[in-house]
C-alpha cells in the first residue's frame, strides 16, 4: 500500500514539474526565433521546439486605428509591431500564413508574408474550425502562422489544444499576445506558450 502511494506521489511531482516549466514561459517577451529555438529577452531563457511535428503561431492583429469604424487599418504603432513580427520570424521557417480579410489582419501578416515570399490565405473569422481541422491533417504545413482577432485567437487555441485554456477573449487593448502551440509526433501531447512580442 505504501509503495503504491509513493509511486503516485512521484507521478504527481513529475506532472507538477512539467506544468511549472510551461508556466515559467508565460508572459515572456520574444527576442527572436532562430530555426526552431525561441529566445526570450527578460532572462526568460529559450524554447526549443525542434522535435515538434507541428507548430502553430496564433496572433491577434496589431494596433488598429480606433477612429475608423469599418475595417480600420493599422496605426503607426501597429505597423511597427507587424514589422517586429517579421523580424522575429525572419530566422525560422513558416510554411503557410492565414489571415481574415480585414485590413488590420492582412497588414499584420503582410511584412512576414513578403519576407517569406508566401501568399496570405484568407479564412472566415466565424468559420475557423474547418481551417484548424484541415491544417491539423495537412502534412505539408508544419509551421503555421494565423492572424486573427481578440475573440477568435483564444477560441482557435482552445480547438487546437482540445481544452478550454482560454475562458474569454483578449482585452481590446491587448495587441502583443504571441501564442505558440507545439505538437509532438512521438506522444499525443500539445504544449502552449503564452508569450508577448
Break the chain into its structural domains and give their ranges: 2-196
Angle between helices 76-89 and 103-116 (to 10 degrees): 30
What confidence score (pLDDT) does residue 135 get? 96
What confidence score (pLDDT) does residue 188 get? 66
pLDDT in tens, the chain (197 residues): 445 454 444 433 333 333 333 434 567 999 999 999 999 987 779 999 999 999 999 999 999 999 988 999 999 999 999 999 999 999 999 999 999 999 999 999 999 999 999 999 999 998 899 999 999 999 999 999 999 999 999 999 999 999 999 999 999 999 999 999 999 877 668 999 999 99
CATH number assigned to the domain covering 2-196: 3.40.50.1240
What confidence score (pLDDT) does residue 25 get? 54
Amino acid at each position: 500500500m505504501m509503495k503504491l502511494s509513493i509511486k503516485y506521489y512521484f507521478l504527481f511531482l513529475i506532472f507538477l514539474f512539467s506544468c511549472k516549466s510551461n508556466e515559467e514561459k508565460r508572459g515572456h517577451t520574444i527576442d527572436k526565433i532562430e530555426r526552431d529555438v525561441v529566445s526570450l529577452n527578460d532572462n526568460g531563457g529559450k524554447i526549443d521546439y525542434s522535435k515538434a511535428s507541428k507548430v502553430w503561431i496564433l496572433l491577434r492583429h496589431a494596433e488598429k486605428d480606433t477612429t475608423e469604424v469599418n475595417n480600420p487599418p493599422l496605426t503607426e504603432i501597429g505597423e511597427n509591431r507587424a514589422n517586429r513580427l517579421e523580424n522575429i520570424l525572419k530566422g525560422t521557417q513558416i510554411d503557410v500564413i492565414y489571415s481574415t480579410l480585414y485590413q488590420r489582419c492582412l497588414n499584420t501578416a503582410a511584412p512576414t508574408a513578403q519576407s517569406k515570399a508566401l501568399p496570405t490565405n484568407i479564412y472566415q473569422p466565424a468559420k475557423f474550425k474547418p481551417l484548424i481541422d484541415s491544417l491539423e491533417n495537412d502534412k505539408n504545413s508544419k509551421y503555421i502562422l494565423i492572424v486573427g482577432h481578440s475573440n477568435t485567437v483564444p477560441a482557435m487555441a482552445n480547438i487546437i489544444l482540445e481544452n478550454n485554456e482560454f475562458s474569454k477573449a483578449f482585452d481590446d487593448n491587448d495587441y502583443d499576445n504571441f501564442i505558440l502551440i507545439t505538437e509532438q509526433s512521438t506522444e499525443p501531447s500539445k504544449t502552449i506558450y503564452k508569450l508577448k512580442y
